[in-house]
Amino acid sequence: MTKLYLVPTPIGNLEDMTFRAIRVLKEVDLILAEDTRTSGKLLKHFEIGTQMHSHHMHNEHKTVASIVNQIKAGKSIALISDAGTPAISDPGFLLTRACIEAGIEVDCLPGATAFVPALVNSGLPNDKFVFEGFLPVKKGRQTRLLALAEETRTMIFYESPHKLLKTLSNFADYFGEDRKISVSREISKLHEETIRGGIKEVVEYYTAKPPKGEIVIVVSGKS
């Protein structure tokens, strides 16, 4: 049966790719990739010769209808992002919703995503948590932080290295500099590290040692 597959890809170590993900990517008629150059290296490594088309945040609004029509016409299509699970702070939601509304089966494979190992590795409560992804850059940022200052569940954020200190400074202002946090960097890669402590301590660490790579911040909720 034709369907849309959402296929997670490794966030670091290529050994995190599942056997099922490799099989699906070899069997589908088309792979939609966030960046065909990045994904091309992955496909080459696993000897996957399936045709690729570009599908990213700048063109997804224009291409969704065409993709839905292709699946309805009999094609099986897989969506991948540069790393991790599609639709988690990456393109995928719009296409998934459109397929569901069109009566197309959607199959999301289990696999790599950065926030789960970061949460578990943080040592902070994980029985209840809220995933925030990237905070608004400008508009709405202050409003969101004010609301989150009252959040009692553990909070998870994504951040880029050049914005980490600014975000941690915001957290100190809104949550208090003693609030416990955990910053995981380069998960599943050679230079993976996790720094834990109060916000003030972590700010001091990354002021002395500027961060590199993809970052997940886990923040304890309000007591």
pLDDT, tens digit, for every residue of 99-112?
Answer: 999 999 999 999 99
Structural domain harbouring 39: 4-108
The owner of tokens 């500027």 is 210
Q: What is the dihedral of CA 127, 92, 18, 107, to 10 degrees?
A: 90
75 and 95 both lie in a single domain: yes
Q: Of 60, 75, 108, which residue constitutes the final position of a domain?
A: 108
> Which tokens sit at 174?
């809104």
Distance between start and end Cα atoms, the chain = 50
38 and 100 both lie in a single domain: yes
pLDDT (tens digit, 9 = 90+) per residue, 21-42? 999 999 999 999 999 999 999 9
91 and 126 both lie in a single domain: no
Q: Of 108, 126, 150, which residue constitutes the final position of a domain?
A: 108
The owner of tokens 């170590």 is 13
Give the sign of the dihedral formed by CA 113, CA 117, CA 122, CA 125.
Answer: positive
pTM value is 0.92
119 and 97 both lie in a single domain: no
> Distance between CA atoms of 154 and 204, rounded to whole angstroms?
22
Residue 217 pairs with which residues in a beta bridge?
157, 183
Strand order in the sheet with 154-159: 129-133, 154-159, 215-219, 180-185, 193-198
**What is the domain count for the chain?**
2
The pLDDT value given to residue 59? 85
71 and 126 both lie in a single domain: no
157 and 87 both lie in a single domain: no
Rg over CA atoms, the chain? 19
The pLDDT value given to residue 115? 96
Helix (H, G, I), strand (E, B) or coil at 123: coil
Q: Of 51, 86, 108, which residue constitutes the final position of a domain?
A: 108
61 and 131 both lie in a single domain: no
The pLDDT value given to residue 1? 58
Intervals of the chain under pLDDT 50: none
The pLDDT value given to residue 216? 98
CATH of residue 51: 3.40.1010.10
Residue 155 pairs with which residues in a beta bridge?
130, 219
With beta carbons less than 8 A apart as the criterion, state whether 126 and 154 touch. yes
